[in-house]
Amino acid sequence: MLIKLLNRVTQWLASLVFIAMYLVTLFQVVARYVFGNPFVWTEELARFLYVWLTFVGAATVFYENKHIIVDILVSRTSAAWRTVLAFVANLFVLAFNLVLFVGGIRMVRATRTAQAPSIPAVTYAWVYLAIALGAAAMVIMVIPRLLSPKSAQHSTSYGGET
């Protein structure tokens, strides 16, 4: 239940970030081409929002098994081996996201006073917070897959099967 709620939160957050990024970019295009007066801050803000979209969206994509997968070798193995390989793959996901989480937290701490050049009210810590939050969400989402072999095998459904 907690995992589903977390997925809903990441979906909503990713959607809101995408809408904000779209509107900021649209505002920049209108300001540049219609009014002939572009704003510097819009490009930087859109880039920051893109970072948020990438890391928060990755958690949703992971939860829904919509990530890109190369299954040429795994699809030719038995069901038992698929379960083993899914478990190992999820261990790698866990390890990678733990490293991302720790690195993201360190970057948040290191950049908490570093201001964005065109948006002085925003520090780079806010940008790096996306890495830590996205990685934390994926760590929480991968744990049930590691605890349940059936869930682990489902996490690597092949050929669009669910």
Sketch the domain layout of the chain as residue ranges.
Answer: 2-154
- Tell the residue number behind the tokens 């958690």, with chain if given: 59
Confidence of residue 151 (pLDDT cuts 50, 70, 90): low
Exposure string over 98-124, b if 16+ CB within 10 A, otherwise e: eebbeebbebbeebeeeebeeeeeebb
Q: Are 2 and 139 in contact (CB under 8 A)?
A: no
- Residue 111 is classified by DSSP as T
What are 114-130's pLDDT values in tens digits?
999 999 999 999 999 99
How far is Cα 122 from Cα 127, in angstroms, rounded to an integer?
9
pLDDT of residue 148: 86
Is residue 11 predicted with pLDDT exceeding 80? Answer: yes
pLDDT of residue 38: 85
What are 58-115's pLDDT values in tens digits?
999 999 989 888 888 888 989 889 889 889 999 999 999 999 999 999 999 999 999 9
pLDDT of residue 149: 64
pLDDT of residue 150: 67
pLDDT of residue 75: 86
What are 22-59's pLDDT values in tens digits?
999 999 999 999 988 888 899 999 999 999 999 999 99
